[in-house]
Chains A and B, each alone.
Chain A
């Protein structure tokens, strides 16, 4: 049992009257790739600024390598940041940009140059050493920013929506490279994004944030398969949400009254508790399968062909407020205004207490 690399303890932060972080605690393990995922205004960027030392939290503590860094300025803490707008020094060459941190440490010019070249090679830009930032493309500037932040060998690298300014194709490509680079250098990366695909692709540890709180955290596979809250069930991938309340509970089996009628499910909630039942789109079955939980019938409102699959939206016939989102094979013959029975395997049902 080793101590966490970063230990955020009960951090709260207010900007004037507005509370942006509410009692957030988080531990980051050495060598991990952590994603802070959330919509804008969720406090994820503020949390990153607190880690970088640009913001001192109103309450709580930040420990890095066991040392209290809460009020330590950015220059003196073992973190570096890759800014969303890259923030390269426009008047310096790419090599001088990358060597800047080493220059501040008082390292001699020859060593600096050698290490800057190494860092540039790491991000695949060995030939750009003598260029100026404005001669590079967006993706290349991004790599320079990454090299500049990594060359000083920080304990933690902070990335503020690093792929936000890139087009989709480049973003997916840089995403793969980021992961590869992180594995190669072994530095802990903490990366802020609102893109859930990016989060699933990159994270070892995914932290879902909403309204200044951590809603859910864990490996992305777990967060996706078993989200802890309604919010993470809808923000990290899509879900069909059916609300209901427990009418009877006995021997680990509960009966839930829902919009689509009573369901008998496995669970330990008390009678009277209200809850939501969430099902991922790929787990909804159109047509009734033997042994599956029946969710009533629905009228198909839209079918969107997406290449490898079709995305089907359907409205429950029992309650028009309930919308099913399902993913079916591309070969399925379902059409708008079809009436279909909807069911799913009991094991794929996610119970969310509310």
Chain B
């Protein structure tokens, strides 16, 4: 009986992990296909489709665009998120709880709604569809995330550290730059890397807000319209690899926080 339970729990675990990771495994496996179709039997391994991806200037420039948008929008989101977290943590504001709720609200709104809203707004304001517009969209979705991460790590014990700096003659901007930012660095980097992950993968907003220069997910979508081939698998695998690196960096930053 107990043996049976053991077997079933193992089977269950394998099924769950298989369900989660099988699509990724298939994607990566067939990106190494030597022939022209990403379907069994597996004919690889071969790197020809990776060569094809790197030779495709549309894909490589979309990749660079994606990195640029991810890095810049995340930098802006984390800066604004940090400043608002600091403001909420250090000053007694009227309606503080309500305002904190409002700032994190975009986390619960669908990207489609945010994207459409921005599209209408940019149209009205005369801002053309561009990487900049998509970047602003990414700031909108990532700022609440950065705020939530950094705010949760702003403890009361840092208040006295900031006071000590002020007491020793530091003006407010130096307190922020020399004390608060370095002390909060793990949370700030964690927010930054998680923002980058989300921006890097983001499709809907980029799709709605860019036109000629676009990001990698949108370019992959263009590629998919002409059907599946191992090249889409290869570029998908690359996207996945970058995401993994960013998530690992995020985890490292959040775990490193412990020894205070």
Q: Do the two chains bind? A: yes
Instruction: Please report the total number of B residues contacting A with Cβ < 8 Å.
Output: 19
B183-217 residues with Cβ-Cβ distance < 8 A to A are 183, 185
CB <8 Å contact, B167 and A80: yes
For A297, the chain B residues whose CB sits under 8 A away are none
Given the known A-B contacts A75-B171, A104-B174, are A81 and B182 also in contact in the complex, defined by CB atoms under 8 Å? no
Given the known A-B contacts A90-B260, A91-B185, are A80 and B168 also in contact in the complex, defined by CB atoms under 8 Å? yes
Given the known A-B contacts A89-B179, A91-B183, A91-B185, are A83 and B163 also in contact in the complex, defined by CB atoms under 8 Å? yes
For A89, the chain B residues whose CB sits under 8 A away are 161, 164-165, 179, 182-183
CB <8 Å contact, A74 and B167: yes
For B167, the chain A residues whose CB sits under 8 A away are 52-54, 74-75, 79-81, 149
- Expressed in whole angstroms, the minimum distance between the Cβ of A286 and any Cβ of chain B is 50
- Expressed in whole angstroms, the minimum distance between the Cβ of A10 and any Cβ of chain B is 25
Assembled-state Cα–Cα distance A149/B167 (Å) = 9
A87 within 8 A of B: yes
Of B161, B163, B170, B183, the residue contacting A104 (CB under 8 A) is: B170
Encode contact with A along B147-166: 1 for CB under 8 Å, 0 otherwise.
00000000001001101111
A73 within 8 A of B: yes
- The chain B residue with its CB closest to the CB of A101 is B168
Given the known A-B contacts A91-B185, A134-B259, are A74 and B163 also in contact in the complex, defined by CB atoms under 8 Å? yes
Assembled-state Cα–Cα distance A91/B164 (Å) = 14
A85 within 8 A of B: yes
CB <8 Å contact, A73 and B166: yes
CB <8 Å contact, B168 and A100: yes
- The chain A residue with its CB closest to the CB of B174 is A104
CB <8 Å contact, B168 and A83: no
Encode contact with B along A118-146: 1 for CB under 8 Å, 0 otherwise.
00000000000000001000000000000
Encode contact with B along A309-323: 1 for CB under 8 Å, 0 otherwise.
000000000000000
B-contacting residues of A (Cβ < 8 Å)? Answer: 52-54, 73-76, 79-81, 83, 85, 87-91, 100-101, 104-105, 134, 148-149, 152
Q: Could you show 9 A-B contacts with beta carbons less than 8 Å apart?
A: A75-B170, A81-B167, A83-B160, A88-B164, A89-B164, A90-B260, A91-B182, A134-B260, A152-B168
Q: A75-B166, A104-B170 are in contact. List 14 more A-B contacts (CB 8 A).
A: A53-B167, A74-B166, A74-B167, A75-B171, A81-B164, A83-B163, A85-B157, A87-B161, A89-B161, A91-B185, A101-B169, A104-B168, A104-B169, A105-B169
